[in-house]
Amino acid sequence: MSSGMPTPATGAAGAADGRALGDGPGLLDTPKQPVQLGSAQGSWFSQVGWRHIVALLAVAFSLFPIIFVISAAFNPQGTLSSTTLIPTGASTENFTGLLERTAFKHWFINSVVIAAVAGALSMFLSALAAYAFSRYRFKGRRPGLMFLLLVQMFPQFLAMVTIYIMFTRITELYPSLGFNTWWGLIILYMGGALGVNTWLMKGFFDTIPKDLDESAKVDGATHTQVFFGIILPLVTPILAVVGLLSFIGTINEFLIANIFLTEGNSKTLAVGLFGLVAGERNNNFGIFAAGTLLTAIPTVALFFALQKYIVGGLTAGAVKG
Amino acid sequence: MADVVFDKVNKVYDNGFHAVQDLDLDIKDGEFLVLVGPSGCGKSTALRMVAGLEDVTSGEMKIGGRTVNEVSSKDRDIAMVFQSYALYPHMTVAENIGYGLRIRKMPKDEIDRRVREAAAKLDLTEYLDRRPKQLSGGQRQRVAMGRAIVRSPQVFLMDEPLSNLDAKLRGQMRSEIAQIQHDLGVTTIYVTHDQVEAMTMGDRIALMKRGVLQQVAEPQEMYENPANIFVAGFIGSPPMNMALCRLDREGDSLVVELGSQRLRLAPGVLGEQPGLERYIGRDIVIGIRSEDMEDAALTKDAEHAITADVALVEALGSQIMVHFSLDARAPKDEDSQLLAAEQGDKETAALHSDEVRWVAAFEPRSRVRVGQQITVTVDTERMHFFDPETSAAIRD
């Protein structure tokens, strides 16, 4: 930050120049009056400095909870009241406790697998739907789009009772798709995310010139070849965004997962970690904080892996320019 | 290679817009046909129907004798160059050119050989590893051409391929495309709204207006014998000079009343165009090309001449374009109005309807100045006559 700040000397010179230009005649009238350093400093602050203050405040605001959680995770006493922003003592006791005394490893694997599979599948399905909605003109296209949007407007838990009854039957008939299974939850999440993702992607697909599809078709490509060979490579930014959003949404999802997953080893991180602090007493917030820190790892890792795809501009140069 | 036949082809869009009406067109094997017309005349739609990108509403579309109405684009064995070039941005030049071959599962070394061959033909060899966005407009245009020629298709389709280039490059690519087409001998349909491209590139021109084919002819034939006022006004630059006048007989020759002036036609005119007999004593639209008028001071012919005040002089070196107004009536038919709108002719709009602006091409020896009153000799034997209502040319 300091490298971006001009030294007071150059700042003063800059301000003096500005004054000389702005108040040219005034300065000529009183040529002997020295330029005030203080007022120069003030004008630097009013022009640039306040932005740094705002930025610092924003950074402090957003970092505070994270630092507090880190501090709590390393606090050996494991209570909220004994945790301060700057840790008083450091130990990895909470982490070892988490790994040894809870089913954290199972929860972690469950969460990552479910989020990855559901995210990838919903990304693919909504890409297919978005392609159709963006490229083809068919009966029911507009109502279909509206319906997708409308369904999104109802909160998910409205369907909770229905889902519960449905899955009670499914668990009886096909236990491998029922409660406490990966696939059951994955299917549920896929359906839930489809609407928003399809709309998001359709918007991006619309920006890919239709000439490209037509050109590929004339070159001899089938619809499938156009989709996988031409369109998909060009929409990677939105695929990355949608994939990341679905992953985060899924890995953080609590409400449905809490109803769906009741057995200890089948829980996801959100459900499992909540269980650690849901009791009325004996809540070890230190272990909970350690768990939340570890939970952030897959999300952050995915973000870094996808970061380079989230830059747009791939389509530049497709058409004239 | 194959011929392309439109047999009573119609295209009606879902919203009821009749884009192409009863199009009958027979494009011979190896021919370079230019489809020309103002924007919205249905020329692009016609091309896209050949490509299979638009359905044919009625009629029959044939390529190489095979009816292709229900054949999908990829099975028609055609190549298309788009106005936007439509290069695949995520592929290199080589991959772009070879895409159609890869789709057809051609062996790798064969693809490579063909891509290099096409690239060499278009001077693209050194750019093969670049991506489209690293190329200039002209180079992108070449890649689009390369993608078409590498497949040696039966038909080339080009949809205003030069309209995104600057004037100089356009002129250069124009001759290059014509040369490549000539070398390969592939049947080509080329869509443009630029009559210069149409005149210079095509073996034949097909001119369309509002979805209806107006005339199909070789460029010079179309220039010299336009079928109606629209063709006459669209082909040629500057456009043909026209005026609505009354045709009279005076002795054994014809005279047109051009506003307050009377222009005596050469004695042979009636003999060559006996159809004019029917219009004697009635209104008729006359048309005259710029180069068929000359400074009377040079021709020493004042008999078939009109006088006018010079409004503007443009010296082009090889000739001098002289603009002048006449107090004659402007044609009122639909074609003339469409042409005026097409050319966005502010000058005409500003003028009264009983005033027309003509442009004559004089020899550079002429010493005409702005504001001067001049006498213009009109080569009345090369004058065109049109029916003022139907706008059709009066021949025989």
Phi, psi of A209 (to 5 degrees): -60, 140
Asked if B88 and A225 come within 8 Å (Cβ–Cβ), the reply is no
Contact of B273 with B394, CB cutoff 8 Å: yes
CA triple A287-A98-A101, angle to 5 deg: 120
Grade residue A316 by pLDDT with cuts at 50, 70 and 90: very low
- What residues of chain B lie within 8 A of the CB of A234, using their CB? 89-90
Inter-axis angle of helices B137-149 and B167-184, to 10 degrees? 10
Long-range Cβ contact pairs of B222-227 (< 8 A, separation 24 or more): B223/B199, B225/B393, B225/B395, B226/B287, B226/B384, B226/B393, B227/B392, B227/B393
Query: What's the token pair of residue B188?
Result: 């080509």
Q: Determine the Cα–Cα distance for residues B248 and B262; give it in Å rounded to an integer.
A: 10
Q: Report pLDDT for A99.
A: 85
Closest CA to A250 of A201, A161, A186, A157: A186
> pTM for the complete prediction?
0.77
Beta strands in B203-319 (DSSP E): 204-209, 212-217, 241-250, 253-258, 261-264, 283-288, 293-295, 305-315
Q: How far apart are CA A149 and CA A203, in angstroms?
A: 13
Residues of A in contact with B45 (CB under 8 A): none
pLDDT tens for each residue of A53-90 = 999 999 999 999 888 888 888 887 777 777 777 777 77
CB B133 within 8 A of CB B89: yes
Size of interface A-B (CB pairs under 8 A): 86
**pLDDT digits 0-9 by tens, A171-212:** 899 888 888 888 888 888 887 777 888 888 898 899 888 999
A-chain residues within 8 Å CB-CB of B74? 217-222
Residue type for position B218:
E
For chain A, how many residues are written? 321
pLDDT tens by residue, chain B, 396 residues: 688 998 999 999 888 898 898 999 999 998 999 999 888 888 999 999 999 998 899 999 999 888 888 888 888 889 999 988 889 988 999 999 999 899 888 899 989 999 998 888 888 888 988 988 888 888 888 899 899 889 888 999 999 888 888 888 888 888 888 888 888 889 999 999 888 888 888 899 999 989 889 999 999 999 988 988 889 888 888 889 988 888 888 877 888 888 888 888 888 887 788 888 888 888 889 899 999 998 888 887 777 888 888 889 998 888 999 999 888 888 877 788 778 777 765 455 444 567 888 999 988 888 888 888 888 888 888 889 998 888 888 877
B275 and chain A: CB distance < 8 Å anywhere?
no
Do the chains contact at A219 and B131, CB–CB below 8 Å? no
CB B6 within 8 A of CB B24: yes
Q: Does any CB of chain A come closer than 8 Å to the CB of residue B134?
A: yes
Minimum Cα–Cα distance from A225: chain B residue: B103
Beta bridge partners of B312: B323
- B265 contact partners, CB below 8 Å, separation of at least 6: B253, B254, B255, B256, B304, B380, B383
B92 interfaces chain A, CB cutoff of 8 Å:
no
Contact B364, B313 (CB under 8 A): no
Q: Which residues contact B68 (CB under 8 A, 6 or more apart)?
A: B52, B61, B62, B76
CB contact under 8 A, A319 and B86: yes
Backbone φ and ψ of B203, nearest 5°: -70, -40
**Whole-number Å distance between alpha carbons of B137 and A84:** 63
pLDDT band at A30 (very low <50, low <70, confident <90, very high): low
Q: Are B210 and B41 in contact (CB under 8 A)?
A: yes
Contacts of A124 by beta carbon, 8 Å cutoff, 6+ apart: none
What pLDDT does residue B40 have? Answer: 82
Tell me the shortest Cα–Cα distance from B146 to chain A, in angstroms: 12
Sort out which chain B residues have CB atoms less than 8 A from A218's CB and list them: 51-53, 73-74, 78-80, 157
Helix (H) or strand (E) holding B34: strand B32-36
Substitution target from A218, A222, A231, A309 for chain B, most B beta carbons within 10 A: A218
**Which of A141, A210, A215, A314 would you mutate first to test chain B, the one with the most B CBs within 10 A?**
A215
Average pLDDT over residues A150-177: 85
- Here the tokens at position A239 are 């695929």
Say yes or no for a CB contact (<8 Å) between B147 and A315: no
Interface test with A, best of B75, B82, B154, B156 (most A CBs within 10 A): B82
Domains and CATH numbers, chain A: 102-320 (1.10.3720.10)
What's the mean pLDDT in A37-52? 74
Kindly identify which residue of chain B lies nearest to residue A214, measuring between CA atoms: B53
- β-partners of residue B243 are B286
Token duo for residue B87: 């290069």
Task: Give kind and range of the element (H or E) at residue B10.
Answer: strand B4-12
Residues of B in contact with A222 (CB under 8 A): 74
Contact flag B104-A225 (C-beta cutoff 8 Å): no
Q: B80–A234: do the CB atoms touch at under 8 Å?
A: no
Quickly count: other Cβ atoms within 10 Å of residue B314's Cβ.
12
- Which residues, including other chains, have CB under 8 Å from residue A281's CB and lie 6 or more apart? none
Alpha-helical runs (H) found in chain A: 8-22, 24-29, 37-44, 50-74, 93-101, 104-135, 141-152, 160-173, 182-206, 210-218, 223-225, 232-234, 236-252, 255-260, 269-277, 285-306
Q: Environment class of residue A98 by beta-carbon count within 10 Å: exposed (0-12), middle (13-18) or buried (19+)?
A: buried
> What is the model's pLDDT at position A58?
95
Q: How far is A228 from chain B (nearest CA, A)?
A: 12
Query: Is A318 close to B89, i.e. CB distance below 8 A?
Result: yes
Cis preceding-peptide flag for B238 (omega within 30 of 0)? yes
pLDDT recorded at residue A61: 93
B83: which chain A residues are within 8 Å (Cβ-Cβ)? 211
CA angle B369, B371, B375 (to 5 degrees): 75
User: Which of A198, A208, A223 is closest to A130 using CA atoms?
Assistant: A198
**Residue A228's pLDDT band (boundaries 50, 70, 90)?**
very high
**How many Å lie between the alpha carbon of A312 and the closest alpha carbon of chain B?**
13
CA-to-CA distance for A303 and A236, rounded, in angstroms?
14
Computed over every residue of chain A, the mean pLDDT equals: 79
Asked if B356 reaches chain A (Cβ–Cβ under 8 Å), the answer is: no
- DSSP character at residue A307: G
Query: Is the ipTM of this structure higher than 0.85?
Result: no
Side chain identity at B191, as an amino acid letter?
V
- Tens of pLDDT, residues B291-325: 999 888 888 777 788 888 888 999 888 899 999 98
| Cβ neighbours for B271, distance < 8 A, ≥ 6 positions apart | none
Q: Which of A139, A141, A219 to mutate to test the interface with B (most CBs of B within 10 A)?
A: A219
DSSP per position, A100-147: HHS-HHHHHHHHHHHHHHHHHHHHHHHHHHHHHHHH---TTHHHHHHH
User: Shortest CA distance to B117 belongs to which of B102, B133, B128?
Assistant: B128
Contact B348, B247 (CB under 8 A): no
Using CA atoms, how far apart are residues B281 and B257, in angstroms rounded to an integer?
10
Among chain B residues, the shortest Cα distance to A137 is held by B14
pLDDT at B163: 85
Cross-chain residue pair B51–A214, CB shorter than 8 Å: yes
d(CA B255, CA B244): 13
Q: Are A315 and A208 in contact (CB under 8 A)?
A: yes
Q: Given A219, A220, A315, which is nearest B89 (Cβ)?
A: A315
Q: Residues of A near B (CB-CB distance < 8 A)?
A: 209, 211-212, 214-222, 225, 229-230, 233-234, 314-321
- pLDDT surpassing 70 at residue A18: no
Per-residue pLDDT tens digits for B74-93: 888 899 999 888 899 889 99
Phi, psi of B41 (to 5 degrees): -90, 0
CB atoms B80 and A212 under 8 Å: no
Output the pLDDT for position B190.
93
Using one digit for the tens of pLDDT, what is the confidence trace for A254-310? 888 888 888 878 888 888 888 888 776 666 788 888 888 888 899 899 888 887 777
Among A283, A261, A276, CA closest to A81: A283
pLDDT for A128:
92
> Which of B:26-55 have CB within 8 Å of A?
51-53
CB A256 within 8 A of CB A185: yes
Helices (H) and strands (E) in chain B, counts: 12, 20
Give the number of other Cβ atoms within 10 Å of residue A187's Cβ. 16
Interstrand relation of B212-217 and B204-209 (parallel, antiparallel or unpaired): antiparallel
The pLDDT value recorded for residue A42 is 65
Decide if B89 and A225 are in contact by the 8 Å CB cutoff. no
Of A229, A230, A319, the CB nearest to B84: A319
Q: Taking Cα atoms as reference points, which of A280, A286, A248, A274 lies closest to residue A68?
A: A286
pLDDT band of A311, cuts 50, 70, 90: low
Q: Is B133 close to A317, i.e. CB distance below 8 A?
A: yes
> CA–CA separation, A250 vs A112, rounded Å?
9
pLDDT surpasses 70 at A143: yes
Cβ-Cβ contacts under 8 Å for A162 (sequence gap 6 or more)? none
- Whether chain A has a CB inside 8 Å of the CB on B138: the answer is no
Q: Does the distance separating the beta carbons of A209 and B132 come in below 8 Å? A: no
- Closest approach of A136 to chain B, Cα-based (Å): 12
- Partner-chain contact B53 A217, CB within 8 Å: yes
Residue A4 has pLDDT above 80, yes or no: no
Q: Among partner residues A209, A211, A233, which is closest to B90 by beta-carbon distance?
A: A233
Radius of gyration of chain A measured on its C-alpha atoms? 28
Pairing of the two strands B253-258 and B293-295: unpaired
| Position B375, amino acid | T
Residue B334's pLDDT is: 78
CB nearest B164 (choices: A209, A317, A320): A320
Res A24: pLDDT:
43
Contact A234 B82 (CB under 8 A): no
Tokens 């004593």 label which residue? B281
